[in-house]
Amino acid sequence: VVIGGCIGQRDGEDLIKKLSHVDVVFGTFNLASLPRLIEQALLTGDHEVEVLSEATDFPTDLPTERESKWSAWLPISIGCNNFCSYCIVPYVRGREKSRPMEDIVADAESLKADGVKEITLLGQNVNSYGRDLYGEPRFADLLRSIAATGVERIRFATSHPKDLNDDVIKAFGELDNLMPALHLPVQSGSNSILKAMHRRYTREHYLDTIKKLREVRPDIALSTDIIVGFPGETEEDFQQTYLVKEVGYTQAFTFIYSKREGTPAARIEDDTPKEVIQERFERLVNLVQDRALEVNQAEVGKVVSVLVEGASKRDETVLMGR
C-alpha cells in the first residue's frame, strides 16, 4: 500500500504510525523515486518514507506512457502562490515554479511530431505562468507560441479568475487552435465568502471576465468548481451562488466544504447544521444540471469537430469525445 502526493508530503512518517499497513509514503516532489521505494520495501519488508522539501525535477523529466495517442498533458508550472484559505496545495507543493518557455514549446513540437492532436497545458494557476521567470505573467505569449507549432487543439487547466487577464482573453479571439472551452473555478458567488476564502476577486469581476470572454468567443463553453458550506456561509451568501444561472456553465463540479488541517479556514468556527448544507448542496446541483441541460440542448443539430476519445464509460455503444 502506497500513499503519495499532498497528504504524504504533509504527514510523512506520521502516516506509518497511524496506518501500520502502509508500505511506502512519498511526497509531492519525489514521484520519480517511487519505483526505487517500492523495490526497497519489497526487498526489506520494511516501510519506506521519502519526503523532499522542494522540487528538483519537473514531472516532464519522467518517462511517459500516454493513455491516448492523440492527447497529452504538458506541465508548464508547479506549485501555487495564492494561499486560498481552504487549500493545502501551497503548503505541500511549494511556491509557483514555471518552466522556461523554450522548453515547453520544444515539448509541444515533439508531441506534435509524435502525432498528438490535443495538448492540455497544466499548472495549479496557469494564468500567472512566467511571473517567477520573467517578472510578469507570460501565459498569453506562451499560448501564442504553442499555437504557432500548429498543434490542432490546445486546452489548459487550471485558471484563477484574478489572473485571467485581457491578453489571455484576447488570445481566445485570435487563436483558432485554442479550444473554445474554459474551466474557471468561481468557488462562491458571495463577495464576503470570496473574501473569507482569500480568492482576491469579486463576483462582479468574475462576471465581467465571463462577459469579455463571450464577446471575443461567443461559443465558449464554461465549467467551474463550487464549494458549498464554507464556514460562515449564510443562506443569503449561498443564494449569491445562483450566479450559475446567469453564467450558464456546461458543467460544474460542486463540493461540500471539507476541512483541511493546517489551513486558515480550518480555524473558523461554524455551527451550520450538516442537513442545511446538504440541502443547499442538492439545490445547487439541481440548478447547475437544469441550466447545463439548457446550454447543452442549444448545441443539438450543430455540426462541430470532435476529437473522439473512445467508448463512453457509462455506455459502450456511445462514443465519447470533446
**Residues found near ligand SF4 in the complex (CB under 6 A):** 80, 82-84, 87, 89-90, 124-125, 160
Nearer to ligand SF4, 9 or 124 (CB): 124
Q: Distance between CA atoms of 172 and 178, rounded to whole angstroms?
A: 6
Nearest-5° Cα angle at 242, 239 to 243: 130
Q: Distance between CA atoms of 108 and 113, rounded to whole angstroms?
A: 9
Cβ 121 to ligand SF4, closest distance in Å? 16
Other CB atoms within a 10 A radius of the CB of residue 308 amount to 10
Give the DSSP letter of residue 187: B
3-class DSSP state of 203: helix
User: What's the farthest any 2 CA atoms get from each other in the chain?
Assistant: 62
**Distances 204 to 88, 89, 173 between C-alpha atoms, Å:** 27, 26, 22
Cβ 187 to ligand SF4, closest distance in Å? 8
Quickly list H helices, the chain: 6-11, 13-18, 34-44, 89-93, 101-113, 131-134, 139-148, 166-174, 191-196, 203-216, 235-240, 243-247, 274-297
Nearer to ligand SF4, 84 or 168 (CB): 84
Nearer to ligand SF4, 38 or 88 (CB): 88
Nearer to ligand SF4, 75 or 90 (CB): 90
Residue type, 145: S
Cβ 159 to ligand SF4, closest distance in Å? 9
Q: Distance between CA atoms of 96 and 80, rounded to whole angstroms?
A: 4
